[in-house]
């Protein structure tokens, strides 16, 4: 049995060693190039069997350099590295060796790798390296060598000639089919019969002619020879010396301006002076810039002073260049004037990592066609290198001839898949978004004519006996793209996209309880032009503390100002095409709020998303003296120590022109403290940075701060030199965070964080001689930016969340366009310090299959990381699935026992008085060996595709809308969450897919209960739709908690206006019908007057209902009509409903105010509780029952108009008068 186990182990080791004994081919390289690099990559070869690890890259070349130490790699990847590596290989992330890039590096298998920036040549820093190690196999238990044999005789006997001699040994217990001993069975050694006589040089030859005929600087040379021999002569074969100086005749150099210089190598203008200045693009003076002639950067003429100025005397007019660390070189010509001086103004651009401004677009092509993908990046300097990848593999530049665009000809099926580009400059790299190429067979239709099943719910009175169901199949075309036209094959963007959509629709009639309901169904699908709605972001910007709006604040996209916020802080932003990352900056001209940069998620398929922007109020300024050392603390959480402090040395302030400022300084330092949960909504951006590979990676913050300094009297902004940022190391409990902590600044154009400096551990006195450890970093404030104390974090997952129309969680009723936000809380003690602090936040917009939110997670402890999750739509907070009195897997959406491990708790779990709009979970990384944890709702970071494509039956967390009972029916079906399902038809409820106008009427009900109210919408004046049904809307009235026996309903109706052909206007005939025994008691006087002034009028003889031709004008709350236009139908309806509930034209409420802004009033009668029916009373007391009937009939005669119990839906008879007011028009019956 032991022998069998040993044999199995030997077979396994042999196979494993055979695979690992070959150097793995570097990714994205051609085989020829791989073979070439295989010979030169390995350093410190161990000469033993083993396995190479994967490549590690735990650091990037910021601060002092690049450190890939064995200790750090073992900390992050303890299971992927052996105890004693035998060898190490290093290379850059661009697959280059250190000697190929000319860099000084240090590496060994015992210590790892390090590259120090200070050891590189001037102006050059370390590249980004990754390493791997050779882990040997321990075969000593089974194999061994015999002793060495004696050395053989030397193969050469002549003098001075080296030969070889050998000796051998035998491998004991070896198996030819399985394993061999580690090492070599033979050993060679050089040998020689002895040295030959050393050769001697010949005599020196004569000196050559001087390199210059006159003047200084000439050289001459003489040579000697070494006789042919097996040995080399000692010394040099040539000798160089300076020539004796001889006077030169007159210089013959001709200068257009000035005179020749002393060496006759150039021209000088002795009485000419160049006055120059160097400043940044925003006008800030730049000191210590190196000034040289263009093309001669090593010959530095002078440097700029503290004001950015420089003077060069005797220089004629020329092109000058300036160079400065962290800035791209700049140049400018000198401009002369009549006073013997010239002016040179050189502008330097701050070095910027590349960022994408043009993204590749997904496309569909047929086999044999062509396609072009384009991407474009900006940066300083402008990126010149572009790389294209197919399914993650680098494409051969020589084969495809790509640059910033990639062209593929004669497409084949294997070329389908994902494509993205990477752009690089000297400062970094950036990757584009992924575009997908679909290559279809011309014989297979991209759009199948047979529609897919799509069920809609019919009204309650339309039960179908044939199917025993309230649902009806109206058909649906799959949301797929068709191949582009031939004229667009090589365009970066397909101008006219084609999608699978309805080609033909049929009208069918559905029998209901008392009427026939028309409906249009999809009969045939085909390729048509895609619906391309606008993409918008709407919202409101206000203070995080008291909700004060940002009035008339400036809004920037990148460097461009695109508009202002309104008086109430509202804003609307149209997302430009090709945008993948929407970065918006809000600036307060009144300087009450800190400039805020937000990265907004949006729905790329179209429509509008609502965002609440919270602004941090600028800290009240304090007075500091410029000539003294000033210390400003960071963090003021009650009963907590400050996070750190900013130390400003004396004489650090200067004006924009470089002039030193020595007076009183107004200083405002605003700190976003993550220990205060209220600040999370006011934090800027999404806490991401771009690494050297161009990948977007997350940061975990320990605090953000902005600093503003200005003069006390003139209020002119001031800049500072180097300041010191000190951070309390006791607040950081994770050892790797102490080492990885860095100081970052926010780029307001890209919304990404850029590294400013590293921290070093130092000791400092603080508070009554208490010795504390500080992390110290240096910062030079050259422009107004937000700064951050962050560390990169690599323990990441994705969380699956879905939103639903109601708490029934019907898979067919998912909500799209919902903004879901996840707030990562600080890990438990034993990780960092304060478990109540937040470390990161992310927002994602739900699509047709929910949303996947990035989060930090841990696989060792389930409760190491926790998070709060919220969801909003149009400013309304959605409710999370309940967790009490117990966690129900069917309600929450997560199966057991994983649900208990995640510790799901809704915000009201322990206190029912709290809101129900958030839930808290443990971010436990799923165990791949546990089947219960492989089906969501938390997915590993590399399983994003699995999260995005997960079926609705998979585990997920849930939100739902809090709304009253309502029902919507459209004759032409339309899914409001998917704008691509819009169909151009005269009977479409929404006539324009790029602009959705929602109209509501507020109906007050006097009665003890809540009542359903229906609007019936029919074509009124358009010849194509007159008398035809558009749709039905039912809405239940909501109780007014402040008014007795009063409720109100906000009922949607179809707005009047142009139909889809945009030719004629239709005044929709709207009928409002409450359920039960109700009579109309009041009509808004403004509305009645408006309808009277805009004929034709509608007869309203039946007091149980109300009919009107819907107004064309967007009336307001004074009329009881609420109209909102938006690019998202759900958002338009949400805003309109909020205003209707509030009874105002610009407010918002979810509590019904029935006495404000109503259009109609109905009084509904109900049978008193406990009262017997008329039939029972007639049997028991006939005379009394008949007396009551006569009394009620007498009372009815005194009422205005007949009153009767109306069946629901009512058979309403409405008559529309013609424009001339003569004969009544046609009668329409439901």
Cis peptide before 716 (omega within 30 of 0): no
Nearest-angstrom CA–CA distance, 373 and 360: 5
Above 50 in pLDDT, residue 1132?
yes
Above 50 in pLDDT, residue 905?
yes
Extract the tokens encoding 229: 């021999």
Nearest-angstrom CA–CA distance, 325 and 773: 31
Extract the tokens encoding 9: 């182990």
**Residue 336 near residue 314, CB atoms below 8 Å:** no
Burial of residue 381 (CB within 10 Å: 0-12, 13-18, 19+) is middle
Question: What percentage of the chain reaches a pLDDT higher than 70?
Answer: 84
**Structure confidence at residue 316 (pLDDT):** 82
Extract the tokens encoding 156: 């050469």
**Residue 629 near residue 647, CB atoms below 8 Å:** yes
pLDDT in tens, 1046-1083: 999 999 999 999 888 888 889 999 999 998 888 999 99
**Structure confidence at residue 1213 (pLDDT):** 34
* Residues 1064, 1069, 1070: CA angle, nearest 5 degrees: 135
The count of other CB atoms within 10 Å of the CB of residue 1129 is 25
Residue written as tokens 């490549």? 55
- Which is more confident, 1010 or 181? 1010
- Phi, psi of 78, rounded to the nearest 5 degrees: -65, -25
pLDDT in tens, 444-453: 888 888 998 8
**Mean pLDDT, residues 925-945 taken together:** 87
Nearest-angstrom CA–CA distance, 467 and 522: 19
Nearest-angstrom CA–CA distance, 301 and 320: 10
Per-residue confidence band for 1166, with pLDDT thresholds at 50, 70 and 90:
low
Burial of residue 647 (CB within 10 Å: 0-12, 13-18, 19+) is middle
The answer for 811, left when phi > 0, alpha when psi is -120 to 50, beta otherwise, is alpha
Bridge partners of 554, per DSSP, are: 564, 587
Question: Among 611-615, 672-676, 832-836, whose mean pLDDT is lowest?
Answer: 832-836
Mean pLDDT for the chain overall: 80
Nearest-angstrom CA–CA distance, 870 and 917: 6
- Phi, psi of 978, rounded to the nearest 5 degrees: -130, 100
**Mean pLDDT, residues 75-104 taken together:** 86
**Structure confidence at residue 5 (pLDDT):** 33
- Element at 76 (helix H, strand E): helix 70-76
Above 90 in pLDDT, residue 389?
yes
Per-residue confidence band for 919, with pLDDT thresholds at 50, 70 and 90:
very high
**Mean pLDDT, residues 799-811 taken together:** 88
Interstrand relation of 770-780 and 352-358 (parallel, antiparallel or unpaired): unpaired
Interstrand relation of 341-350 and 273-280 (parallel, antiparallel or unpaired): parallel
Above 80 in pLDDT, residue 1172?
no
Extract the tokens encoding 282: 């925003």
**Residue 557 near residue 620, CB atoms below 8 Å:** no
**Structure confidence at residue 346 (pLDDT):** 92
**Mean pLDDT, residues 1131-1156 taken together:** 87
Q: Which of 1148, 1117, 1154 is nearest to 1133 (CA)?
A: 1148
**Structure confidence at residue 674 (pLDDT):** 80
The long-range contacts involving 1194-1203, CB below 8 angstroms and separated by at least 24 positions, are 1199/1079, 1200/1103, 1201/1101, 1201/1102, 1201/1103, 1202/1102, 1202/1103, 1203/1079, 1203/1103, 1203/1104
**Mean pLDDT, residues 285-309 taken together:** 87
The count of C-alpha atoms lying within 13 angstroms of the C-alpha of 1123, restricted to the half-sphere facing its C-beta, is: 16
- Element at 738 (helix H, strand E): helix 735-740
Nearest-angstrom CA–CA distance, 1172 and 1167: 9
**Structure confidence at residue 49 (pLDDT):** 59
**Model's pTM, two decimal places?**
0.63
**Structure confidence at residue 1195 (pLDDT):** 46
Non-local (6+) Cβ contacts of 885 within 8 A are: none
Extract the tokens encoding 669: 């330092």
**Residue 803 near residue 847, CB atoms below 8 Å:** no
pLDDT in tens, 1114-1125: 888 999 999 998
Above 80 in pLDDT, residue 72?
yes
pLDDT in tens, 747-775: 888 888 888 777 777 754 444 434 456 56
- Which is more confident, 192 or 1204? 192
Sign for the pseudo-dihedral over CA of 1197, 1200, 1205, 1206: positive
pLDDT in tens, 14-37: 333 333 333 333 333 333 433 333
pLDDT in tens, 1177-1227: 555 666 666 666 665 555 444 433 433 333 344 333 333 333 333 333 333
pLDDT in tens, 955-967: 999 999 876 578 8
Question: Among 322-326, 775-779, 987-991, whose mean pLDDT is lowest?
Answer: 775-779
- Phi, psi of 945, rounded to the nearest 5 degrees: -60, -40
Above 80 in pLDDT, residue 501?
yes
Cis peptide before 897 (omega within 30 of 0): yes
pLDDT in tens, 359-388: 898 888 888 888 999 999 988 888 888 999
Per-residue confidence band for 1150, with pLDDT thresholds at 50, 70 and 90:
confident
Nearest-angstrom CA–CA distance, 1116 and 1158: 10
**Structure confidence at residue 24 (pLDDT):** 37
**Structure confidence at residue 1215 (pLDDT):** 36
Per-residue confidence band for 798, with pLDDT thresholds at 50, 70 and 90:
very high
- Which is more confident, 978 or 952? 952
* Residues 627, 631, 632: CA angle, nearest 5 degrees: 125
Interstrand relation of 535-543 and 607-615 (parallel, antiparallel or unpaired): parallel
Q: Would you give the DSSP letter of residue 1178? A: H
* Residues 1196, 1201, 1206: CA angle, nearest 5 degrees: 80
DSSP helix/strand/coil, 575 = coil
């Amino acid at each position: 049995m032991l022998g069998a186990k040993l044999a199995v182990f030997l077979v396994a080791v042999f196979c494993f060693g055979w695979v690992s004994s070959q150097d793995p081919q570097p990714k994205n390289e051609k085989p020829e190039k791989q073979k070439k690099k295989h010979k030169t990559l390995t350093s410190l070869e161990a000469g033993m069997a083993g396995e190479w690890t994967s490549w590690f890259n735990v650091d990037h070349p910021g601060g002092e350099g690049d450190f890939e130490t064995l200790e750090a790699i073992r900390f992050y990847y303890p299971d992927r590295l052996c105890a004693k590596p035998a060898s190490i290989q290093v290379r850059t992330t661009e697959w280059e060796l250190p000697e190929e890039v000319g860099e000084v590096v240090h590496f060994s298998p015992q210590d790892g790798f390090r590259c120090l920036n200070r050891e590189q040549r001037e102006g050059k820093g370390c590249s980004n390296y990754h390493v791997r190690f050779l882990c040997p196999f321990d075969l000593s238990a089974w194999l061994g060598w015999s002793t060495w044999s004696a050395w053989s005789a030397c193969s050469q006997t002549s003098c001075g000639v080296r030969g070889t001699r050998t000796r051998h040994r035998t491998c004991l217990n070896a198996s030819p089919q399985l394993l061999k001993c580690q090492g070599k069975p033979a050993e060679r050694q050089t040998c020689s019969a002895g040295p030959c006589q050393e050769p001697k040089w010949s005599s020196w030859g004569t000196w050559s002619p001087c390199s210059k005929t006159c003047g200084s600087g000439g050289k001459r040379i003489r040579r000697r020879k070494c006789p042919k021999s097996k040995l080399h002569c000692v010394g040099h074969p040539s000798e160089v010396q300076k020539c004796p100086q001889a006077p030169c005749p007159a210089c013959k150099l001709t200068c257009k301006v000035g005179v020749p210089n002393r060496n006759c190598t150039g021209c000088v203008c002795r009485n000419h002076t160049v006055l120059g200045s160097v400043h940044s693009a925003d006008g800030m003076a730049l000191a210590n810039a190196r000034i040289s002639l263009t093309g001669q950067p090593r010959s530095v003429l002078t440097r700029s002073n503290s004001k950015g100025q420089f003077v060069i005397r005797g220089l004629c007019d020329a092109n000058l260049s300036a160079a400065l660390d962290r800035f791209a070189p700049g140049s400018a010509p000198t401009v002369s004037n009549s006073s013997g001086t010239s002016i040179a103004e050189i502008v330097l651009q701050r070095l910027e990592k590349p960022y994408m401004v043009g993204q590749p677009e997904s496309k569909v092509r047929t086999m044999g066609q062509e396609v072009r993908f384009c991407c474009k990046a900006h940066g300083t300097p402008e990126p010149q290198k572009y790389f294209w990848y197919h399914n993650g593999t680098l494409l051969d530049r020589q084969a495809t001839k790509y640059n910033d665009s990639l062209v593929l000809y004669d497409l084949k099926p294997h070329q389908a898949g994902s494509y993205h580009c990477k752009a690089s400059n000297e400062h970094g790299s950036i990757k584009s978004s992924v575009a997908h190429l679909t290559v279809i067979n011309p014989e297979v239709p991209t759009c199948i004519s047979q529609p897919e099943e799509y069920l809609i719910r019919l009204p309650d009175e339309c039960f179908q006996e044939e199917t025993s169901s309230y649902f009806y199949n109206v058909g649906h075309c799959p949301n797929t793209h068709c191949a582009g036209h031939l004229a667009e094959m090589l365009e970066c963007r397909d101008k006219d996209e084609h999608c699978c959509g309805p080609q033909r629709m049929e009208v069918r009639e559905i029998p209901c309880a008392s009427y026939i309901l028309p409906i249009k169904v999809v009969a045939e699908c085909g390729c048509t032009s895609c619906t391309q709605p606008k993409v918008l972001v709407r919202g409101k910007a206000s203070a995080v503390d008291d909700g004060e709006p940002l009035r008339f604040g400036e809004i920037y996209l990148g460097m461009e100002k695109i508009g202002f916020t309104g008086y109430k802080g509202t804003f609307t932003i149209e997302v430009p095409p090709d945008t993948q990352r929407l970065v918006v900056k809000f600036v307060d001209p009144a300087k009450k709020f800190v400039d805020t940069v937000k990265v907004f998620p949006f729905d790329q398929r179209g429509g509008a998303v609502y965002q609440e922007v919270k602004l941090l109020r600028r800290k009240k300024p304090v007075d500091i003296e410029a000539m003294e050392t000033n210390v400003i603390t960071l963090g003021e959480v009650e009963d907590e120590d400050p996070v750190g402090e900013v130390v400003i040395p004396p004489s650090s302030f200067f004006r924009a022109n470089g002039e030193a400022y020595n007076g009183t300084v107004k200083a405002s330092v605003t700190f976003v403290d993550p220990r205060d949960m209220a600040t999370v909504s006011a934090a800027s951006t999404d806490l991401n940075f771009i690494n050297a590979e161009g990948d977007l990676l997350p940061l975990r913050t320990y605090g953000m701060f902005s600093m503003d300094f200005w003069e006390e009297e003139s209020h002119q902004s001031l800049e500072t030199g180097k300041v010191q940022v000190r951070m309390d190391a006791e607040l950081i409990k994770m050892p790797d965070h102490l080492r990885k902590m860095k100081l970052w600044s926010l780029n307001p154009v890209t919304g990404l964080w850029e590294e400013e400096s590293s921290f070093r551990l130092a000791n400092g006195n603080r508070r009554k001689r208490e010795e504390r450890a500080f992390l110290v970093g240096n910062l030079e404030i050259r422009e107004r930016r937000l700064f951050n104390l962050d560390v990169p974090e690599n323990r990441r997952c994705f969380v699956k969340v879905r939103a639903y129309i109601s708490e029934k969680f019907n898979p067919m009723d998912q909500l799209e366009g919902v903004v879901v936000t996840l707030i990562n809380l600080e890990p438990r003690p034993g990780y960092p310090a304060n478990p109540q602090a937040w470390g990161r936040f992310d927002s994602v917009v739900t699509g047709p299959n929910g949303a996947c939110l990035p989060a930090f997670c841990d696989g060792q402890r389930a409760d190491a990381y926790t998070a709060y999750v919220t969801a909003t739509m149009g400013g309304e907070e959605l409710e999370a699935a309940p967790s009490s009195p117990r966690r129900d897997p069917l309600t929450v959406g997560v199966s057991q026992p994983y649900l208990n491990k995640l510790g799901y708790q809704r915000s009201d779990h322990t206190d029912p008085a709290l809101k129900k709009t958030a839930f808290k979970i443990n971010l436990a990384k799923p165990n791949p060996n546990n089947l219960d944890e492989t089906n969501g709702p938390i997915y590993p970071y590399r399983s994003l595709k699995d999260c995005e494509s997960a079926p609705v039956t998979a585990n997920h967390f849930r939100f739902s809308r809090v709304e009253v009972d309502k029902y919507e029916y459209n004759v032409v079906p339309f899914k409001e969450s998917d704008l691509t399902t819009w169909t151009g038809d005269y009977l479409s409820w929404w006539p324009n897919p790029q602009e959705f106008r929602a109209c509501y009427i507020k109906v007050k009900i006097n009665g003890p209960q809540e009542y359903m109210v229906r609007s019936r919408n029919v074509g009124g004046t358009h010849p194509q739709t007159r008398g035809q049904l558009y749709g039905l809307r039912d809405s239940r009235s909501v109780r007014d908690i402040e008014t007795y026996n009063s409720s109100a309903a906000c009922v949607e109706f179809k707005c009047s206006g142009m139909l889809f052909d945009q030719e004629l206007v239709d005044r929709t005939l709207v009928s409002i019908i409450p359920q039960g025994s109700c009579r109309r008691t009041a009509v808004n006087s403004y509305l009645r007057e408006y309808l009277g002034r805009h004929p034709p009028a509608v007869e309203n003889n039946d007091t149980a209902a109300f009919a009107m031709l819907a107004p064309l004008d967007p009336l307001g709350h004074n009329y009881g009509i609420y109209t909102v236009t938006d690019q998202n139908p759900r958002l338009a309806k949400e805003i309109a409903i909020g205003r209707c509930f509030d009874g105002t034209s610009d407010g918002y409420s979810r509590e019904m105010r029935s006495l404000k802004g109503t259009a109609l009033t109905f009084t509904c009668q109900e049978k008193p509780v406990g009262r017997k029916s008329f039939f029972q009373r007639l049997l028991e007391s006939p005379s009394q029952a008949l007396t009551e009937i006569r009394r009620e009939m007498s009372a009815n005669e005194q009422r205005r108009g007949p009153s009767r119990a109306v069946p629901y839906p009512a058979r309403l008879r409405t008559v529309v008068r013609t424009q001339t007011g003569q004969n009544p028009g046609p009668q329409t019956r439901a």
